[in-house]
Amino acid sequence: MALSEHEQRLLDQLEQQLHADDPKFAHSMASSTSRSMSTRRIVIGSLVTIAGVAVLLLGIWNQFIPVGVAGFLIMGAGVYYATSKTRLDGAAPHSGKGAKASSSAGGGFLSSLEEKWDERKRDQP
């Protein structure tokens, strides 16, 4: 369901306030392309995991514990590689320095939300 124009404006204002008040948190929560899951990483990680399971089973079959432990470590490394996200080159974190100055004059994020809420309540019959 699409947002109305008013809702979209409010969402944009909330996003700007979040970037102004806590840019580090806003950057970590952003759904940008700077960090993404890669199909290539998933496939390679899955293959490494399967190889680790094979080495683990080989170690169990031969009853040689170090080979089994190595297989388990290989398997864990494959899962980690497959589920980790990559950072693309040239992606710089968003800096909220300019927005920080404007938000401190307005009283902060929560007071802005309270003002918006009061404004909405006044507009309703």
pLDDT one-digit tens code per residue, 41-78: 999 999 999 999 999 999 999 999 999 999 999 999 99
pLDDT recorded at residue 107: 61
Higher pLDDT, 5 or 98: 5
What distance in Å separates the CA atoms of residue 118 and residue 11, rounded to the nearest whole number?
A: 16
Higher pLDDT, 100 or 70: 70
pLDDT in tens, 70-94: 999 999 999 999 998 876 544 444 4
Q: Is the pLDDT of residue 98 over 60?
A: no
AA identity, residue 104: S
| Whole-number Cα distances in Å, 25 to 11, 28, 86, 89, 114 | 17, 5, 19, 21, 21
What distance in Å separates the CA atoms of residue 73 and residue 48, rounded to the nearest whole number?
A: 10
What distance in Å separates the CA atoms of residue 24 and residue 118, rounded to the nearest whole number?
A: 29
